[in-house]
């Protein structure tokens, strides 16, 4: 029988440590068995537990030839487990490709099998009086001793490089994991590999497994505080209480251990038992130490104890006293976070663009989501249940309930939301407070739900008031901006006659500085303006003063002023307002407009005069030129006298009409024969047409075609139309050119058609032919067709222009007399 080694007392401790590692690996694997990173971590914890258990069992001296190879074999698998986890955490990335992975796996598994089944790595395990434990090395031991630290060091280097690039929570998770592996690697390789390799003795190999406790503590801390591998481990309150009791026993145990060497030889076993029980009782009956330990442990696992009444009282006071929406939302979120220490809290409020995220607090959360817009399923349920809390557990149990469980449950799971608190005011939904799971993992208690419900009820009216105040302030700013920029003076007064609004335009028109008049009584205003405002305060209707003196320094400065009373939402008097505009610029504009109109009328009259005189002068000029060559022709001379006399009489009538400009004129309408009017116009222009080589072709009926009108005016109409047609034909044309005039009666109306063989009306001006001063001729006045249209319309007819296949066409339609 071998002598028990000095590390034999440590075997139960190492066994407990190994079981804890197995439990940790199983917990991680069970959380998500399908994820590679969870499986590799479980394998890593299992291999580490196997090594710890093997070292402890080997140093116990029991089945040494079994446990010693087991220890070396399990240690050979540590690089493979570390490699697999490094390849998948924090994200899945290839490490050196398939060849490198195959090398690591082959060497690790090969060394493991060689350590357990062959003497090629280590063999002949014995205890000596000096080292207590000893072994002999085989031919593969150098490879074993080189592979384990080299592979582990390379993988640690990769993780350290990742840690340097990581940010936030991923950096913290990597940091704790790297430190944990580094402690195990340095401590284990030093005591179990380096010292035995260089000294040939395993004196301190029993210390190596204790470094796995650091791995267990650091990884557990990272899981509890930083959600390593997205794990959520719930530490029950009974467990923290038990740990607090154990901590409270530590001082007594330390005192007992300190004095044990002096007391061990003097006390018998019963005295030791009595002393131990007494010391433990004293420790347990010391509430401050136990309470402090319990409080610290609760804080460590995010189980905070808040004074809910104090939080609610303080939050209620701040919500009631504040009208700032940002302060209200921050107070609401802060109070909810202090009451429930959750993974995240988000506040959604109803706005013009939908129910949107206003504030959130999710610094401790991995999975908590806060989308910018509240999901439709959540909003629908909140609207259906505006006064009750909605818990995720309740939704999961609500199969067949009236609200859409599937869509809501998907939103809650996707964003990791645990509690919804609708916020209502005056029977309508104004927002939703979203709360994630508790950081401690505990369920929501009735006190938690009551506190959140009370907070939501207080927040409803506060949020609504803050929103209304913000809208009112915005409207006031809008009104102030508008009032300050308009050109009209605006004065608003309170029911007591005190000025509350006095814009810049009012300051300019009244001549009173704004700082001097604000918050003063209306008696400080000019008397007419003061009287108008006093009247508006006591009369219910609006009044307008066409001319009101509003200037203190310029009594002659008048304004048009409108006053109206103001009322609140209940219809009670709330003051009055006066809006006035200066009439001085308006009167100046009227004078300028009057001068411009007179000038325009004079220009139109001048153009018309030129046009009307040019028409009779044209045939007179033409006949005069022909008189030199045909003066001996008595018929021509007679015709000359008749035409010149008639055209001079037309000019004389025009002069008579100009004398009566500005006095009402009365035009006597009678029966007009259109055929005679066309013949008269043809006689006037026949010489002009002959001179240009253009023939005038008249197609007139045998009888009379009579309409109601003025004969002289219709003769002017046809002179204008025929002359325009002649002038539309280009001079010097090689082919025979002609102007056709057709008169006929059809269907109760007279139809006159004047057509030429010119190029027709230009397309760009055909729609503007009856607009004054629009002409296609270089020296035209643009009034001929306008005059024609006015004569035809006065007789109840209409005139149209168009383009024929070989020129332009003007058509007159008049009702028959």
The CA distance from 622 to 691, in Å, is 8
Q: Is residue 481 part of a domain?
A: no
Residue range 248-264: average pLDDT? 58
Q: Is residue 430 part of a domain?
A: yes
Domain termination residue (choose one: 471, 495, 527): 471
Which residue pairs, CB below 8 angstroms and at least 24 apart, start in 57-63? Answer: 57/11, 58/125, 58/133, 59/5, 59/7, 59/8, 59/10, 59/11, 59/132, 59/133, 59/205, 59/206, 60/4, 60/5, 60/8, 60/11, 61/2, 61/3, 61/4, 61/5, 61/8, 61/127
For position 109, what pLDDT does the model report?
A: 92
Q: Does one domain contain both 218 and 82?
A: yes
Q: Is residue 589 part of a domain?
A: no
Q: What's the total number of domains in the chain? A: 6
Residue range 75-81: average pLDDT? 90
The CA distance from 300 to 670, in Å, is 114
In CATH, what number is assigned to the domain containing residue 76? 1.20.1070.10
Q: Does one domain contain both 462 and 499?
A: no
Q: Do residues 133 and 5 touch, judged by C-beta distance below 8 A?
A: yes
Q: Does one domain contain both 492 and 636?
A: no
Does position 403 have pLDDT exceeding 50, yes or no?
Answer: no
Read off the pLDDT band of 401 (50, 70, 90).
very low
pLDDT tens sequence across 420-452? 888 888 778 888 888 887 776 666 777 777 788
Token pair in block for residue 269 = 């076993």
Read off the pLDDT band of 482 (50, 70, 90).
confident
443 or 389, which is more confident? 389
In CATH, what number is assigned to the domain containing residue 793? 3.30.565.10
Which 8-state DSSP code applies to residue 193?
Answer: I
Q: Is residue 3 part of a domain?
A: no
Q: Does one domain contain both 447 and 457?
A: yes
Domain termination residue (choose one: 647, 665, 683): 665
Q: Is 465 exposed, middle or buried (0-12, 13-18, 19+ CB in 10 A)?
A: middle
Considering the chain, what percentage of its residues have pLDDT values greater than 70? Answer: 76
Radius of gyration of the chain (CA): 55
Does position 7 have pLDDT exceeding 50, yes or no?
Answer: no
In CATH, what number is assigned to the domain containing residue 658? 1.10.287
Domain termination residue (choose one: 471, 497, 531): 471
Read off the pLDDT band of 242 (50, 70, 90).
low
Residue range 9-29: average pLDDT? 82
**428-436 vs 489-493, strand pairing mode:** unpaired
Least confident range from 138-142, 357-361, 364-368, 481-485: namely: 364-368
Q: Does one domain contain both 58 and 160?
A: yes
Least confident range from 3-12, 105-114, 313-322, 678-687: namely: 3-12
294 or 586, which is more confident? 586
CB atoms within 10 A of CB 466: 22
For position 660, what pLDDT does the model report?
A: 41
- Order of strands, edge to edge, in the sheet holding 489-493? 499-502, 489-493, 573-582, 558-567, 543-549
Q: Which of the given ranges, 321-325, 373-377, 749-753, has the highest pLDDT on average?
A: 749-753
The CA distance from 558 to 551, in Å, is 8
Q: Does one domain contain both 446 and 497?
A: no
Read off the pLDDT band of 514 (50, 70, 90).
confident
Read off the pLDDT band of 398 (50, 70, 90).
very low
Q: Does one domain contain both 166 and 258?
A: no
Q: Is residue 408 part of a domain?
A: yes
The CA distance from 797 to 817, in Å, is 12
Q: Is residue 587 part of a domain?
A: no
Token pair in block for residue 266 = 């003097």
Read off the pLDDT band of 8 (50, 70, 90).
very low
CA distances 451 to 312, 387, 457, 770, Å, are 7, 14, 10, 83
Place of tokens 């917990």: 27
Beta-bridge partner residues of 431: 349, 423
Residue range 248-273: average pLDDT? 58
Q: Does one domain contain both 703 and 739?
A: yes
The CA distance from 195 to 271, in Å, is 44
DSSP alpha helix (H) spans, 62-96: 64-76, 78-88
Residue range 66-75: average pLDDT? 88
Does position 742 have pLDDT exceeding 60, yes or no?
Answer: yes
Token pair in block for residue 251 = 């001082």
CA distances 316 to 310, 423, 431, 451, 582, Å, are 10, 14, 17, 12, 53
The CA distance from 497 to 143, in Å, is 102
pLDDT tens sequence across 158-202? 888 888 887 766 777 888 888 888 888 888 888 888 887 777 666
pLDDT tens sequence across 665-708? 556 688 989 899 888 888 878 888 888 888 888 988 888 889 99
Q: Domain range for residue 409?
A: 308-471
pLDDT tens sequence across 760-796? 888 777 777 777 666 666 555 566 777 788 888 888 8
Residue range 599-616: average pLDDT? 63
Does position 503 have pLDDT exceeding 70, yes or no?
Answer: yes
The CA distance from 583 to 531, in Å, is 19
In CATH, what number is assigned to the domain containing residue 492? 3.30.450.20
Least confident range from 405-419, 460-474, 525-539, 756-770: namely: 405-419
Place of tokens 């022909």: 626
For position 375, what pLDDT does the model report?
A: 84
Q: Does one domain contain both 40 and 173?
A: yes
For position 382, what pLDDT does the model report?
A: 79
Question: Whole-number mean pLDDT of the chain?
Answer: 77
Three-class SS of residue 202? coil
The CA distance from 742 to 725, in Å, is 13
Q: Does one domain contain both 244 and 313?
A: no
Q: Is residue 168 part of a domain?
A: yes
Full-prediction pTM beyond 0.75? Answer: no
Residue range 468-473: average pLDDT? 76
Phi, psi (rounded to 5 degrees) for 117: -100, -15
Q: Is residue 316 part of a domain?
A: yes
Q: Do residues 43 and 84 touch, judged by C-beta distance below 8 A?
A: yes
Place of tokens 């305060």: 537
807: left (phi over 0), alpha (psi -120 to 50) or beta: left
For position 266, what pLDDT does the model report?
A: 57
Q: Do residues 126 and 134 touch, judged by C-beta distance below 8 A?
A: yes
For position 47, what pLDDT does the model report?
A: 92
The CA distance from 347 to 430, in Å, is 11
Q: Does one domain contain both 284 and 265?
A: yes
pLDDT tens sequence across 357-383? 888 877 555 567 788 888 887 888 777
Read off the pLDDT band of 216 (50, 70, 90).
confident
CB atoms within 10 A of CB 262: 9
Q: Does one domain contain both 61 and 98?
A: yes
Q: Could you tell me which residues come within 8 angstroms of residue 621 by beta carbon, excluding any fewer than 6 positions away?
A: none
Sign of CA dihedral 680, 681, 686, 688: positive
Place of tokens 């991923």: 170
């Amino acid at each position: 029988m071998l002598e028990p080694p000095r590390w034999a007392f440590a075997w139960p401790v190492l066994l407990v440590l190994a079981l804890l590692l197995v439990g940790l690996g199983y917990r991680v694997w069970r959380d998500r068995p399908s994820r590679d990173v969870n499986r590799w971590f479980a394998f890593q914890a299992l291999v580490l537990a196997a090594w710890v258990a093997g070292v402890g069992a080997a140093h116990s001296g029991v089945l040494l030839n079994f446990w010693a190879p087991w220890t070396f074999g399990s240690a050979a698998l540590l690089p493979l487990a570390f490699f697999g986890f490094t390849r998948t955490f924090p994200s899945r990335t290839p490490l050196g490709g398939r060849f490198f992975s195959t090398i690591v796996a082959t060497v690790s598994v090969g060394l493991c099998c060689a350590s357990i089944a062959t003497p090629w790595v280590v063999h002949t395990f014995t205890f000596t009086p000096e080292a207590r434990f000893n072994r002999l090395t085989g031919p593969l031991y150098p490879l074993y001793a080189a592979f384990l630290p080299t592979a582990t060091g390379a993988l640690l280097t990769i993780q350290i490089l990742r840690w340097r690039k990581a940010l936030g929570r991923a950096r913290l998770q990597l940091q704790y994991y790297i430190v944990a592996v580094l402690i195990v690697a340095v401590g284990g390789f030093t005591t179990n590999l380096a010292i035995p390799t260089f000294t040939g003795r395993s004196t301190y190999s029993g210390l190596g497994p204790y470094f796995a406790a650091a791995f267990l503590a650091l990884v557990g801390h990272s899981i509890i505080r930083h959600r390593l591998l997205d794990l959520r481990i719930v530490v029950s309150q009974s467990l923290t209480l038990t740990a607090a009791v154990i901590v409270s026993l530590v001082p007594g145990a330390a005192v007992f251990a300190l004095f044990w060497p002096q007391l061990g030889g003097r006390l018998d076993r019963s005295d030791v038992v009595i002393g131990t029980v007494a010391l433990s009782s004293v420790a347990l009956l010391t509430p401050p130490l136990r309470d402090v330990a319990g409080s610290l442990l609760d804080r460590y696992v995010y189980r905070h104890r808040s004074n809910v009444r104090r939080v609610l009282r303080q939050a209620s006071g701040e919500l009631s006293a504040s009208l700032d929406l940002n302060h209200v939302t921050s107070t609401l979120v802060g109070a909810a976070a202090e009451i429930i220490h959750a993974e995240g809290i988000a506040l959604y409020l109803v706005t013009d663009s939908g129910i949107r995220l206003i504030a959130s607090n999710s610094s401790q959360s991995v999975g908590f989501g806060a989308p910018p817009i509240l999901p439709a399923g959540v909003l629908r349920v909140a609207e259906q249940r505006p006064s009750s809390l909605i818990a995720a557990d309740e939704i999961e149990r609500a199969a067949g309930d009236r609200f859409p469980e599937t869509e809501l449950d998907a939103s809650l799971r996707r964003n990791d939301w645990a509690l919804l608190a609708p916020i209502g005011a005056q029977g309508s939904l104004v927002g939703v407070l979203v709360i994630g799971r508790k950081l401690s993992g505990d369920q929501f208690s009735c006190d938690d739900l009551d506190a959140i419900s009370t907070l939501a009820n207080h927040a409803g009216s506060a949020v609504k008031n803050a929103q209304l105040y913000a809208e009112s302030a915005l409207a006031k700013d809008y009104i102030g901006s508008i009032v300050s920029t308009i050109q009209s003076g605006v004065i608003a007064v309170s029911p007591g006659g005190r000025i509350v609004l006095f814009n810049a335009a009012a300051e300019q028109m009244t001549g009173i500085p704004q700082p001097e008049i604000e918050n003063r009584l209306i008696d400080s205003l000019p008397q007419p303006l003061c009287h108008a405002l006093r009247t508006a305060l006591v009369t219910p209707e609006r009044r307008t003063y066409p001319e009101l003196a509003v200037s203190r320094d310029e009594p002659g400065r008048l304004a048009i002023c409108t006053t109206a009373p103001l009322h609140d939402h209940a219809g009670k008097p709330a003051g009055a307002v006066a809006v006035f505009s200066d009439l001085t610029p308006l009167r100046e504009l009227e004078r300028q407009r009057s001068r411009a109109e007179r000038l325009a009328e004079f220009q139109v009259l001048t153009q018309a005069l030129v046009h009307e005189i040019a028409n009779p002068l044209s045939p007179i000029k033409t006949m005069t030129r022909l008189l030199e060559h045909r003066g001996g022709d008595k018929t021509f001379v007679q015709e000359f006298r008749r035409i010149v006399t008639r055209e001079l009489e037309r000019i004389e009538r025009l002069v008579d009409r100009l004398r009566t400009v500005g006095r009402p004129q009365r035009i006597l309408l009678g029966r007009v024969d259109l055929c005679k009017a066309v013949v008269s116009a043809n006689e006037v222009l026949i010489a002009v047409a002959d001179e240009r080589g253009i023939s005038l072709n008249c197609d007139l009926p045998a009888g009379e075609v009579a309409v109601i009108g003025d004969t002289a005016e219709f003769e002017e109409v046809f002179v204008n139309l025929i002359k325009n047609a002649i002038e539309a034909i280009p001079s010097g044309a090689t082919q025979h050119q002609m102007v056709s005039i057709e008169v006929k009666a059809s269907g109760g109306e007279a139809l006159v058609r004047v057509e030429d063989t010119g190029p027709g009306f230009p397309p760009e001006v055909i729609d503007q032919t009856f607009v004054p001063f629009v002409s296609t001729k270089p020296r035209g006045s643009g009034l001929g067709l306008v005059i024609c249209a006015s004569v035809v319309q006065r007789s109840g007819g209409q005139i149209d222009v168009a383009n024929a296949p070989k020129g332009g066409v003007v058509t007159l339609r008049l009702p028959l007399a």
